[in-house]
Amino acid sequence: MTDEEKFRFDLTGFLVRPAIITKDEVAEIVDQLDRIRRDPESLPPEHRAVPGGASSLLIDHPKVIDVLHQIIGPDIRMESTFSVWRMKGQEHGGLHGGGPGQADPIFGYRVRNGRIHAGMVRVVFELTDVSKDDGGTHFIVGSHKANFPMHPDHMSLEDGKRSPYLMTYECPAGSAIFFTENLCHAGPVWQRETPRIAILNAYAHLATHWHRLRIPPEVLNGLPREKQAYFREPWIADFRTSPATHNTIDRFLEKDEPPINTDHQP
């Protein structure tokens, strides 16, 4: 992460890394998402949901992990993922989040001694080109550090009523957009004839866990071990051993234990 990226992420609460995924990789992931929608049987069971199959590339992409280590910390987990195939007229929803949550261990955004300690961070992978007016994710910049609750005058997505601090991005397919969940954001109505195809992953500090995992067990178990490591159990130190054992990726790779249990009914 460059100093300029760090400055921009801290100032606004979001950061775009353009085209970090190659065109071929994008095409493979889009093909997987298309099959999941229209013909899941054409995929092996362990590829029938994200983050399995082609989309598993995104779990530990070096240009993503690099940023996450600098804005969350050295020990991170991936704790949620979903994909969108958003048609014209569809939306995720209006502005939400933001305001004074800095002390919250799950969502809070803090900077101390030159280091960023963000709570949960969302990474949006845009798998098509996105232009400014298409309706990519929108942000009220700076709201991750706001000291007062979000003011209603800044919460509209309607033309003419938008906050001057409402910002979005344009980017080529294969870009990653990082934002702290403490930032007020929206997934507005998609305006383009062709769909918005995107994968949205969430990462957090190794010791926190907001989303109960709902990745199908066969998908999680089908991942290579080094990618399963991002779904290891959320704890730091095991004092049953002396010295305490730390829940590092290396330890997970040496052991035979499964990633976090997904064997539950929804």
Ligand X SMILES: O=C(O)CCC(=O)C(=O)O
Residues lying near ligand X in the complex (CB under 6 A): 92, 122, 137, 185, 187, 200
Q: How far is the CB of 242 from ligand X (least distance, A)?
A: 41
Q: How far is the CB of 187 from ligand X (least distance, A)?
A: 2
Q: Which 3 state secondary structure label does DSSP give 133?
A: coil
DSSP H or E run through 110: strand 109-112
Across the beta sheet with 138-140, what order do the strands follow? 93-96, 185-187, 138-140, 166-167
- Residues near 116 by Cβ (< 8 Å), separated by ≥ 6? 6, 9, 10, 70, 71, 109, 110
Cβ-based nearer residue to ligand X, 119 or 187: 187
Q: How far is the CB of 96 from ligand X (least distance, A)?
A: 7
Q: How far is the CB of 95 from ligand X (least distance, A)?
A: 9
Q: Which of 167, 69, 67 is nearest to 125 (CA)?
A: 67
Whole-angstrom Cα Rg for the chain: 19
Cβ-based nearer residue to ligand X, 92 or 144: 92
Question: Cα–Cα distance between 125 and 61 in angstroms, integer?
Answer: 11
Per the CB < 8 A criterion, the answer to whether 90 and 193 are in contact is no
Closest residue by beta carbon to ligand X:
187
Cβ-based nearer residue to ligand X, 61 or 122: 122
Cβ-based nearer residue to ligand X, 230 or 252: 230
Q: How far is the CB of 131 from ligand X (least distance, A)?
A: 15
Cβ-based nearer residue to ligand X, 96 or 225: 96
